[in-house]
A and B are shown apart, each in its own frame.
Chain A
Amino acid sequence: MGLVIQSLPYLLLGAVQTLKITLVAVSLGCILGLVAGMGRLSRRRLTSFLATCYVDFFRGTPLLVQIFIVYYGFPQLLDEGQKFLMASLGMPQLLQTTHIPVFVAATLATSLNSGAYVAEIFRAGIQSIERGQVEAARSLGMTEGQTMRYIVLPQAFKRVIPPLGNEFIAMLKDTSLLSVIGYVELTRQGQLISGATFKPLQIYFGVALIYLIMTFTISRLVDYLERRLKTGDLDRS
């Protein structure tokens, strides 16, 4: 117990990093997800096809593999691409190093992953709005875009808060995978301390406890938000 308390400042430092990367991932994921979610609903075949490919790929493959592709694969792609351009077009060398910083790779992989899940959340949220709402708006002369912006999305946003909260919690736990590329978040910090102290049981229990406190707090927060936003939204069958 004393050991956990001793290493607490370091673990909390890791927890801050965990929260930070989760926040960044889900925020960027929301932007990507809104675009991809609306893309999936688009009447344009190509748009909906591309959006579906994106969603299927990132939901259908492990996040760990996605992290490896971004962190180890992209530098190779950049390197070989640059060599090809230099050889075939005589372009000067633009990149001195094709190494991708850990934080950048972590952000990229988790945001792309989160975006795919959020896309499905938004798609479901938009589709859950009754057709009559769209018809009423269109019958008043609103364009498709205005209907989305003033009528559908504001109502959909309220409905997606609980699933978005779940996505945030899932991502918070999944960021532990970033420890494998050396991103120092909570799990990685635990590994380092446990490696130095040879007390994995206590340390990893401490790590688990901190995750639990974070996820529990967030789920209560989401509950509270959900209740507060209930006003003015009546579920009609």
Chain B
Amino acid sequence: MTLIEVKDLHKSFGSLEVLRGINCNIDEKEVVVVIGPSGSGKSTFLRCLNLLEVPTRGEVIIDGTSLTDSRTNINAVRQEVGMVFQRFNLFPHKTVLENITLAPIKVRHLPETEAEKLARELLARVGLSDKAGAYPEQLSGGQQQRVAIARALAMRPKIMLFDEPTSALDPEMVGEVLAVMKDLARDGMTMVVVTHEMGFAREVGDRVLFMDEGLILEEGTPAQLFNNCQNPRTRAFLSKIL
């Protein structure tokens, strides 16, 4: 079943055209990894999927709901689409537990005890049970990012978007975050991941999209793309980073 449909997506910032006609369908439980040089529009594409960026033209349909339709309640759609940011963006004035329970309580109207139970389950899942009472600034980058993943999961989303989740991390912390993401993928979460971690793409991705200059130039299974790519620009990019 198709969960995300993107049709002819364009996005400009002033005169700068960042996305120049993206077409893409993503199925339920699929893990799609988006790669490409910086400035290729990967993050903008991802941010269009929950309307953090408003497309200039084209359509994004999430689980049958068109985001660009003015009648769409975007807050309702966002409850189904979790997002993890490069810079974690945890709420610094709230404890780890409060970071996770806030949206379920205020948005999903979950009773507090239930939200807390859910948060503790998720913390256990990301291996941070002992950090419930800590503030974000007391955690390492890797720990903060794992809390951010737990926070997004607490809304029980159908889709998870990852915007370069390991790019702001010290190298020794990348592994712990990727491990949590692999675990999620194994559980059947539908994921769209913008990353430079080619090992992750190869191991976990069902499909890899190569973007450059605002277009998807090539896509395929990791094996197809990494071992036998057709587009010269894909080849040039991969030769630089592999």
Contact = CB atoms under 8 A, between A and B. Distances in A.
B106 A146 contact: yes
A199 interface: no
Nearest to B94: A232
B155 A141 contact: yes
B76 A141 contact: yes
A236 B87 contact: yes
Contacts of A151: 91
A158 B94 CA distance: 13
B36 interface: no
Nearest to A233: B92
B75 A139 contact: no
A154 interface: yes
A154 B85 contact: no
Contacts of A137: 91, 103
Contacts of B87: 132, 236
B170 to A, nearest CB: 16
A133 B91 contact: yes
Contact of B81 (A130, A139, A232, A236): A139
Nearest to A134: B89
B89 A135 contact: yes
B24 interface: no
Contacts of A234: 92, 136-137
Most chain B beta-carbon contacts within 10 A, residue among A132, A141, A146, A234? A141
A142 B93 contact: no
Contact of B135 (A140, A142, A154, A232): A232
A139 B136 contact: no
A50 to B, nearest CB: 27
Interface in B92-114: 92-95, 102-103, 106-108
Contacts, number: 75
Contacts of A146: 106-107
Nearest to A132: B89
A34 B103 CA distance: 25
Nearest to A232: B135
Given A139-B50, A155-B93, A150 B78 contact: no
A138 interface: yes
Given A139-B52, A141-B107, A150-B102, A133 B89 contact: yes
A143 interface: yes
A234 B90 CA distance: 11
Interface string A113-132: 00000000000000000101
Contacts of A136: 83, 85, 89-91, 148
B67 to A, nearest CB: 13
B82 interface: yes
A93 interface: no
Contact of A142 (B103, B137, B148, B152): B103
B73 to A, nearest CB: 10
Nearest to A141: B79
Nearest to A135: B52
A42 to B, nearest CB: 19
Interface string A69-112: 00000000000000000000000000000000000000000000
Given A146-B106, A232-B137, A138 B52 contact: yes
A133 to B, nearest CB: 6
Most chain A beta-carbon contacts within 10 A, residue among B50, B92, B107, B151? B92
- 7 nearest A-B pairs in the assembled complex, by CB-CB distance: A141-B79, A234-B137, A136-B89, A140-B103, A132-B89, A139-B83, A141-B78
23 contacts: A130-B89, A132-B87, A133-B91, A135-B52, A136-B83, A136-B90, A136-B148, A140-B79, A141-B78, A141-B79, A142-B75, A142-B103, A142-B106, A146-B107, A150-B102, A155-B91, A232-B92, A232-B94, A232-B136, A233-B93, A233-B137, A234-B137, A236-B87
Given A135-B89, A142-B106, 18 more contacts: A130-B89, A132-B89, A136-B90, A136-B148, A139-B78, A139-B83, A139-B152, A140-B155, A141-B79, A141-B103, A141-B107, A146-B107, A232-B92, A232-B94, A232-B137, A233-B92, A234-B92, A236-B87
